[in-house]
A = this chain, B = another copy of it.
Amino acid sequence: MSNPKAVVLLSGGMDSATCLAVALAEGYEAYPIAFRYGQRHAVELECAARVCAHFGLPADRLYVVDLTGAFRGSALTGDAPVPTGRPLGALAAHIPATYVPARNIVFLSLAAAYAEPLGARDIFIGVNAVDYSGYPDCRPEFISAFTAALNLGTQAGEERRCFRIHTPLVRLTKGQIVRLGQALGVPFHLTHSCYQGTVPACGVCDSCQLRLKGFREAGLEDPIPYHGVK
Protein backbone atom coordinates (compact mmCIF):
# COMPACT_ATOMS: atom_id res chain seq x y z
CA MET A 1 0.00 0.00 0.00
CA SER A 2 1.34 3.42 -0.88
CA ASN A 3 1.82 6.17 1.65
CA PRO A 4 -1.09 8.54 2.24
CA LYS A 5 -0.81 11.83 0.41
CA ALA A 6 -0.61 15.14 2.23
CA VAL A 7 -0.75 18.66 0.86
CA VAL A 8 1.87 20.83 2.58
CA LEU A 9 1.77 24.61 2.48
CA LEU A 10 5.32 25.60 1.63
CA SER A 11 6.46 29.21 1.58
CA GLY A 12 10.18 28.58 1.44
CA GLY A 13 10.64 29.93 4.96
CA MET A 14 12.11 27.95 7.84
CA ASP A 15 8.77 27.09 9.44
CA SER A 16 7.10 25.63 6.37
CA ALA A 17 10.28 23.76 5.44
CA THR A 18 10.26 22.20 8.91
CA CYS A 19 6.58 21.42 8.49
CA LEU A 20 7.37 19.60 5.23
CA ALA A 21 10.08 17.63 7.02
CA VAL A 22 7.56 16.61 9.70
CA ALA A 23 5.06 15.41 7.06
CA LEU A 24 7.77 13.35 5.37
CA ALA A 25 8.99 11.96 8.68
CA GLU A 26 5.43 10.90 9.48
CA GLY A 27 5.40 8.88 6.26
CA TYR A 28 3.22 11.06 4.07
CA GLU A 29 3.77 11.42 0.36
CA ALA A 30 4.08 15.20 0.29
CA TYR A 31 2.43 17.48 -2.25
CA PRO A 32 3.76 20.95 -1.48
CA ILE A 33 1.70 23.94 -2.55
CA ALA A 34 3.03 27.50 -2.74
CA PHE A 35 1.45 30.82 -3.65
CA ARG A 36 2.56 33.73 -5.78
CA TYR A 37 0.58 36.64 -4.44
CA GLY A 38 2.67 39.67 -5.16
CA GLN A 39 4.69 39.24 -1.97
CA ARG A 40 7.83 41.33 -1.67
CA HIS A 41 9.67 38.20 -0.68
CA ALA A 42 9.00 36.26 -3.90
CA VAL A 43 12.50 34.83 -3.52
CA GLU A 44 10.71 32.46 -1.12
CA LEU A 45 9.27 30.59 -4.10
CA GLU A 46 12.74 29.73 -5.41
CA CYS A 47 13.65 28.62 -1.92
CA ALA A 48 10.53 26.43 -1.81
CA ALA A 49 11.62 24.70 -5.02
CA ARG A 50 15.13 24.12 -3.66
CA VAL A 51 13.77 22.71 -0.42
CA CYS A 52 11.59 20.27 -2.39
CA ALA A 53 14.61 19.16 -4.44
CA HIS A 54 16.64 18.73 -1.24
CA PHE A 55 14.03 16.34 0.10
CA GLY A 56 14.07 14.36 -3.14
CA LEU A 57 10.61 15.27 -4.35
CA PRO A 58 9.99 15.02 -8.12
CA ALA A 59 10.93 18.20 -10.00
CA ASP A 60 7.32 18.99 -10.95
CA ARG A 61 5.85 18.22 -7.55
CA LEU A 62 5.70 21.78 -6.18
CA TYR A 63 2.39 23.33 -7.18
CA VAL A 64 2.54 27.11 -7.39
CA VAL A 65 -0.84 28.85 -7.47
CA ASP A 66 -0.81 32.29 -9.01
CA LEU A 67 -2.82 34.72 -6.92
CA THR A 68 -1.13 37.89 -8.07
CA GLY A 69 -3.46 40.75 -7.39
CA ALA A 70 -5.78 38.82 -5.09
CA PHE A 71 -4.44 40.52 -1.97
CA ARG A 72 -4.26 44.24 -1.55
CA GLY A 73 -3.47 46.64 1.20
CA SER A 74 -0.68 44.82 3.00
CA ALA A 75 2.97 45.64 3.59
CA LEU A 76 3.82 42.16 2.29
CA THR A 77 2.36 42.95 -1.11
CA GLY A 78 4.17 46.24 -1.41
CA ASP A 79 1.31 48.53 -0.43
CA ALA A 80 2.87 49.77 2.82
CA PRO A 81 6.35 49.78 4.37
CA VAL A 82 7.51 46.65 6.18
CA PRO A 83 7.94 47.50 9.87
CA THR A 84 11.48 46.94 11.14
CA GLY A 85 13.11 46.95 14.54
CA ARG A 86 9.87 46.23 16.41
CA PRO A 87 10.62 44.92 19.91
CA LEU A 88 9.99 41.18 19.77
CA GLY A 89 8.02 41.23 23.02
CA ALA A 90 5.39 43.45 21.43
CA LEU A 91 4.83 41.38 18.30
CA ALA A 92 1.75 39.39 19.20
CA ALA A 93 -0.02 42.31 20.88
CA HIS A 94 -1.08 44.08 17.68
CA ILE A 95 -1.76 42.94 14.18
CA PRO A 96 1.09 44.44 12.12
CA ALA A 97 1.17 46.07 8.67
CA THR A 98 2.51 42.81 7.26
CA TYR A 99 -0.86 41.19 7.94
CA VAL A 100 -2.31 39.98 4.65
CA PRO A 101 -6.10 39.86 4.97
CA ALA A 102 -7.42 36.32 5.22
CA ARG A 103 -4.17 34.93 3.81
CA ASN A 104 -4.13 31.55 5.52
CA ILE A 105 -7.86 31.23 4.94
CA VAL A 106 -7.30 31.64 1.22
CA PHE A 107 -4.23 29.39 1.24
CA LEU A 108 -5.96 26.61 3.20
CA SER A 109 -9.02 26.85 0.95
CA LEU A 110 -6.90 26.40 -2.15
CA ALA A 111 -4.94 23.62 -0.45
CA ALA A 112 -8.24 21.83 0.14
CA ALA A 113 -9.32 22.42 -3.47
CA TYR A 114 -6.02 20.82 -4.52
CA ALA A 115 -6.17 18.01 -1.97
CA GLU A 116 -9.67 16.82 -2.70
CA PRO A 117 -9.25 15.53 -6.28
CA LEU A 118 -5.76 14.31 -5.34
CA GLY A 119 -7.30 12.02 -2.74
CA ALA A 120 -5.35 13.69 0.07
CA ARG A 121 -7.20 14.45 3.25
CA ASP A 122 -4.23 15.65 5.26
CA ILE A 123 -3.08 19.25 5.02
CA PHE A 124 0.03 20.51 6.80
CA ILE A 125 0.56 24.16 7.65
CA GLY A 126 3.47 25.58 9.63
CA VAL A 127 1.52 28.15 11.64
CA ASN A 128 2.88 29.08 15.02
CA ALA A 129 1.05 30.80 17.84
CA VAL A 130 3.99 31.27 20.22
CA ASP A 131 6.76 33.23 18.49
CA TYR A 132 4.82 34.86 15.72
CA SER A 133 3.85 38.24 14.39
CA GLY A 134 0.35 38.40 15.83
CA TYR A 135 -1.66 37.17 12.85
CA PRO A 136 -5.08 35.86 13.88
CA ASP A 137 -5.03 33.12 11.24
CA CYS A 138 -2.11 31.36 12.93
CA ARG A 139 -4.00 30.34 16.05
CA PRO A 140 -5.33 26.89 16.95
CA GLU A 141 -8.90 28.21 17.44
CA PHE A 142 -8.93 29.44 13.85
CA ILE A 143 -7.54 26.17 12.52
CA SER A 144 -10.22 24.15 14.37
CA ALA A 145 -13.03 26.35 13.14
CA PHE A 146 -11.73 26.29 9.59
CA THR A 147 -11.44 22.50 9.64
CA ALA A 148 -15.07 22.28 10.74
CA ALA A 149 -16.17 24.56 7.89
CA LEU A 150 -14.10 22.61 5.39
CA ASN A 151 -15.66 19.32 6.36
CA LEU A 152 -19.14 20.78 6.11
CA GLY A 153 -18.44 22.30 2.72
CA THR A 154 -16.69 19.56 0.78
CA GLN A 155 -17.48 16.21 -0.76
CA ALA A 156 -14.69 14.67 1.36
CA GLY A 157 -16.42 15.79 4.55
CA GLU A 158 -19.75 14.65 3.14
CA GLU A 159 -18.42 11.15 2.61
CA ARG A 160 -16.77 11.06 6.03
CA ARG A 161 -13.29 11.16 4.54
CA CYS A 162 -12.74 14.24 6.65
CA PHE A 163 -9.93 16.70 6.15
CA ARG A 164 -7.38 17.00 8.91
CA ILE A 165 -5.27 20.12 9.20
CA HIS A 166 -1.95 19.37 10.86
CA THR A 167 -0.15 22.20 12.63
CA PRO A 168 2.94 20.49 14.04
CA LEU A 169 4.64 23.78 14.95
CA VAL A 170 1.72 25.64 16.45
CA ARG A 171 2.80 25.39 20.08
CA LEU A 172 6.58 25.43 19.62
CA THR A 173 8.91 28.34 20.28
CA LYS A 174 11.14 29.43 17.41
CA GLY A 175 14.06 27.77 19.22
CA GLN A 176 12.15 24.48 19.34
CA ILE A 177 11.32 24.79 15.65
CA VAL A 178 15.01 25.23 14.81
CA ARG A 179 15.93 22.18 16.90
CA LEU A 180 13.13 20.09 15.36
CA GLY A 181 14.17 21.17 11.88
CA GLN A 182 17.80 20.34 12.58
CA ALA A 183 16.85 16.89 13.85
CA LEU A 184 14.84 16.25 10.69
CA GLY A 185 17.53 17.47 8.30
CA VAL A 186 15.85 20.71 7.17
CA PRO A 187 18.19 22.59 4.82
CA PHE A 188 17.95 25.91 6.67
CA HIS A 189 20.61 27.35 4.34
CA LEU A 190 18.07 27.05 1.49
CA THR A 191 15.23 28.79 3.33
CA HIS A 192 14.38 32.46 3.35
CA SER A 193 12.21 34.31 5.83
CA CYS A 194 12.87 38.06 5.38
CA TYR A 195 9.68 40.04 4.79
CA GLN A 196 11.63 42.62 2.79
CA GLY A 197 12.72 39.92 0.37
CA THR A 198 16.31 41.10 0.30
CA VAL A 199 19.31 38.79 -0.11
CA PRO A 200 21.16 39.01 2.26
CA ALA A 201 18.17 39.13 4.60
CA CYS A 202 17.52 42.47 6.31
CA GLY A 203 17.84 41.16 9.89
CA VAL A 204 15.45 43.77 11.29
CA CYS A 205 11.93 42.93 10.08
CA ASP A 206 9.72 40.89 12.44
CA SER A 207 10.39 37.72 10.50
CA CYS A 208 14.19 38.07 10.51
CA GLN A 209 14.15 38.96 14.20
CA LEU A 210 12.06 35.91 15.06
CA ARG A 211 14.27 33.66 12.97
CA LEU A 212 17.46 34.95 14.57
CA LYS A 213 15.91 34.55 18.02
CA GLY A 214 15.10 30.92 17.16
CA PHE A 215 18.66 30.13 16.18
CA ARG A 216 20.00 31.90 19.27
CA GLU A 217 17.65 29.92 21.52
CA ALA A 218 18.67 26.69 19.84
CA GLY A 219 22.34 27.58 20.29
CA LEU A 220 22.94 27.35 16.54
CA GLU A 221 24.26 29.71 13.91
CA ASP A 222 21.75 30.74 11.24
CA PRO A 223 23.46 29.67 8.00
CA ILE A 224 21.95 32.42 5.81
CA PRO A 225 23.67 35.79 5.33
CA TYR A 226 22.23 38.95 6.89
CA HIS A 227 22.69 42.52 5.87
CA GLY A 228 22.19 43.95 9.33
CA VAL A 229 23.66 43.00 12.68
CA LYS A 230 23.38 39.31 13.41
Q: What residues make up the interface of A, taking CB atoms closer than 8 Å to B?
A: 65-74, 95, 99-106, 108-110, 112-117, 136-137, 139, 141-142, 145-146, 148-150, 152-155, 157-158
How far, in angstroms, from A141 to B158 measured CA to CA in the complex? 12
A154 contact from B66, B102, B152, Cβ within 8 A: B102
Query: What are the residues of chain B within 8 A of A152 when measuring CB–CB?
Result: 136, 139, 141-142, 145-146
- B109-A136 in contact (CB<8A): no
Contacts of A106 in B (CB 8 A): 106, 109-110, 113
Establish whether residues B113 and A70, one from each chain, have CB atoms under 8 Å apart when the complex forms: yes
Q: A95-B155, A105-B109, A145-B153 are in contact. List 16 more A-B contacts (CB 8 A).
A: A65-B69, A65-B70, A72-B117, A101-B154, A102-B113, A102-B153, A105-B149, A136-B152, A136-B157, A139-B153, A141-B152, A142-B152, A145-B145, A145-B149, A145-B152, A146-B149
Bound-complex Cα distance A109 to B35 (A): 15
Are B95 and A102 within 8 A (Cβ)? no
What's the dominant secondary structure at chain A's contact region? Answer: helix
- Most chain B Cβ neighbours within 10 Å, of A74, A105, A115, A155: A105
- Does A105 contact B112, Cβ atoms closer than 8 Å? yes
Quick one: which of A137, A141, A157 has the most chain B CB within 10 A?
Answer: A137
In angstroms, Cα B123 to Cα A102, docked, is 14
- Is A142's CB under 8 angstroms from B153's CB? yes
Query: A102 — which chain B residues lie within 8 A by C-beta?
Result: 109-110, 112-113, 116, 150, 153-154
Q: How far is the CB of A74 from chain B (nearest CB, A)?
A: 8
12 example contacts (A-B, Cβ-Cβ < 8 A) are as follows A65-B67, A101-B154, A102-B109, A102-B154, A104-B153, A106-B113, A108-B109, A136-B154, A137-B153, A141-B152, A145-B145, A148-B149
Question: How many Å from the CB of A99 to the closest CB on chain B?
Answer: 6
A115 vs B105: C-alpha distance in the bound complex, in angstroms?
13
Given contact pairs A66-B69, A102-B113, A106-B106, A158 touches B136 in the complex (Cβ within 8 A):
yes
